[in-house]
Structure 1
Amino acid sequence: MKTKTIIISMLLLISVTIALGQKIEVKSGNLDFLKNQKKLKIEYDYSNMGVGKFEKEEDYIKKKVSELNEKEAGSGDQWKENWVTDRKQSFEPKFEDLLNESLKKNNLVGGNFDDAEYTLILRTVFTEPGFNVGVARKNAYTDLEAVFVKTGSADPLAIVTIEKSPGRGGMGYDFDTGFRIQESYAKAGKELGQYLVKKVL
């Protein structure tokens, strides 16, 4: 009976684990302007983002806050605060750390540089938060657009899509939603940096 339970748990685990293949593609323009640059300003845009089954992030937040507050008063409000603060505290630093780890080979660094000639606006199009309840899990992932503009301008010089950037912990101990999503941004930063080094710089 115990063996049967373990097998069922393993099958459930496999059935809900999505094998994600990250894909990076230049959708418009070209990135030749990055050659010989030393600094790249980075900004972030989370507006008009879909989350999970919801086309609008605000609908996802409303449902999540209501569900959590029903279980424990105030827990939904705390979750909502973390949902937003995780961006500055972990998603963005992780993206930049891994991006710069790749770019340092070409002496290019990304960050909050107002004097950089070009800006990368990382736009989050979609977030799948995923879940991990021990016997079953679903990886997080994000769909992103890296929009390159001349600093101070809104006109795109190039747009690079990063589809299904996976987020999960290496040992499977990624029970926290914020941690899973953080790893998705880390992966996106690493892969985008490697792509730029290989294809452009």
Structure 2
Amino acid sequence: MKSLKKAILLFAVTFISLQMYAQRIRVVEGKVPDLKNEKSVNTEFTYDNISVGKFDKEADYIKNKTEEYNKKEAGRGDSWAKKWVEDRELRYEPKFDELFTKYSDLTIDNNAKYTIIFHTTFMEPGFNIGITRKNAFINGEVLIVETANKNNVIAKLSLDKAPGNSFWGNDYDTGERLSETYATAGKSLGKFIKK
């Protein structure tokens, strides 16, 4: 029993280490402003021109999945497509903000000096069918701009392969897996900005 606990702990540590190693944030242009004197930032999210899985265009992915689900059960695909878009505001963005504020020690305020614009460029929704799974992840572009003049880009960062999965593997819902990718992205960006 003792060796089983050690094996599980070793597996968990290795898994978490590999997940953190896979994700990468780097400054592409400019310089991240020193936010030590700031108490808050504003956040905004954009989803234009996203690639999803093997599809270059999100619209093609949505069409394919909608048709697939509607063939299995009338109306299921239409409900899925609606939820696909709604999850952004209801699940992804709040998860990002929650973990970002926790790890950056900043609050979210529309009137803050700086705005962080998180633009999702790629989504891998992954899957979990019980016996096999593929983890979700996202790629994104982060712009740090002046809130009063959003054309003034202070820094541009890239965030690659923010993973998303639940610790116990109960992420059968696409929205759940993807919301975890935004949580990971928020946490990582919060830590990155804080240092």
TM tier relative to shorter chain: 0.7 to 0.9
Identify the residue that residue 86 of structure 1 maps to in structure 2: 87
**SS of equivalent to 1:53:** coil
1:180 equivalent in alignment to 2:182 = no
Q: What per-residue deviation string (whole Å, max 9, x for no partner) do you get for residues 1-60 of structure 1?
A: xxxxxxxxxxxxxxxxxx651001111100125341122110000011110011110110
Shift of 1:144: 1.1
Gaps spanning 5+ residues in structure 1: where? 1-18
Q: Match for 2:117 among 107, 113, 121?
A: 121
Shift of 1:170: 0.3
**SS of equivalent to 2:171:** coil
Q: Match for 2:190 among 187, 190, 193?
A: 193
Q: What per-residue deviation string (whole Å, max 9, x for no partner) do you get for residues 52-98 of structure 1?
A: 01111011001110111111100000001110111111100000000
Q: What is the CA–CA distance in structure 2 between the aligned matches of 1:41 and 1:196, rounded to whole Å?
A: 14
Q: What is the CA–CA distance in structure 2 between the aligned matches of 1:94 and 1:114, rounded to whole Å?
A: 17
Q: What is the CA–CA distance in structure 1 between the aligned matches of 2:54 and 2:39, rounded to whole Å?
A: 40
Q: Match for 1:136 among 103, 118, 132?
A: 132
What TM-score, normalized to structure 1?
0.83
Identify the residue that residue 153 of structure 2 maps to in structure 1: 156
What TM-score, normalized to structure 2?
0.86
Q: What is the CA–CA distance in structure 1 between the aligned matches of 2:85 and 2:75, rounded to whole Å?
A: 16
1:147 equivalent in alignment to 2:143 = yes
Q: What is the CA–CA distance in structure 2 between the aligned matches of 1:197 and 1:186, rounded to whole Å?
A: 16
Q: What per-residue deviation string (whole Å, max 9, x for no partner) do you get for residues 110-150 of structure 1?
A: x3x33211111000000000001111100000001111111
Task: Supply the AA of the counterpart residue of 1:183.
Answer: E
Deviating beyond 4 angstroms after TM superposition, the runs of 4 or more aligned structure 1 residues are none
Shift of 1:154: 2.3
Q: What is the CA–CA distance in structure 2 between the aligned matches of 1:36 and 1:189, rounded to whole Å?
A: 20
Contact 2:43 2:110 in 1 (8 A): no
Identical counterparts, % of pairs: 45
Task: Supply the AA of the counterpart residue of 1:150.
Answer: E
Shift of 1:156: 1.9
In structure 2, the CA distance between the partners of 1:53 and 1:158, relative to structure 1 (3 Å rule), is same
Identify the residue that residue 52 of structure 1 maps to in structure 2: 53
Identify the residue that residue 26 of structure 1 maps to in structure 2: 27
**SS of equivalent to 2:156:** strand
Q: What is the CA–CA distance in structure 2 between the aligned matches of 1:173 and 1:165, rounded to whole Å?
A: 19
Shift of 1:99: 0.5
Q: How many residues align?
A: 175
Identify the residue that residue 10 of structure 1 maps to in structure 2: none
1:170 equivalent in alignment to 2:167 = yes
